[in-house]
Amino acid sequence: MFMLIVKFHTALDDAQVRRFLDERLAQFRAVPGLIQKYYARETATGEYVGVYLFDSEESLLRYRSSDLARSIPAVYQVVGSPRIEMFELLFKLRE
């Protein structure tokens, strides 16, 4: 399994961000190989965070090159560059 973490600051207010997150749920549900996505906001900085779990590195990379992934900065009016981190998951605590 592979994990992708995307963090960003936005020029939008919280209500606008949440509306876009909700409107795009179906698109994310349709991403091949995406097992789960967690939506979060870091309280200390106000940054929005997406934590994605993929079934393989290939699925993660395919998503990263998709129109959906490339649309994030424009849709959410990202300020600066988003922070993007990719991880290979070694094991999980619980089944």
Q: What is the mean pLDDT of residues 17-41?
A: 97
Q: How far apart are CA 6 and CA 63, in angstroms?
A: 13
Residue 55 pLDDT level (bands cut at 50, 70, 90): very high
The domain total for the chain is 1
Q: What is the mean pLDDT of residues 41-55?
A: 97
pLDDT score for 46: 95
DSSP readout, 13-65?
Answer: -HHHHHHHHHHTHHHHHTSTTEEEEEEEE-TTT--EEEEEEESSHHHHHHHHT
Q: 12 in a domain, yes or no?
A: yes
Q: What is the CATH number of the domain that holds 21?
A: 3.30.70.100
Asked if 54 contacts 63 with a C-beta cutoff of 8 angstroms, the reply is yes
**Mean pLDDT of all residues in the chain?**
97
Q: What is the mean pLDDT of residues 6-29?
A: 97
Residue 23 tokens, joined = 């409107």
The answer to whether the predicted template modeling score (pTM) of the entire model surpasses 0.85 is yes
pLDDT in tens, 56-92: 999 999 999 999 999 999 999 999 999 999 999 999 9
Q: 94 in a domain, yes or no?
A: no
Domain encompassing residue 83: 2-88
Residue 95 has pLDDT above 90, yes or no: no
Q: 95 in a domain, yes or no?
A: no
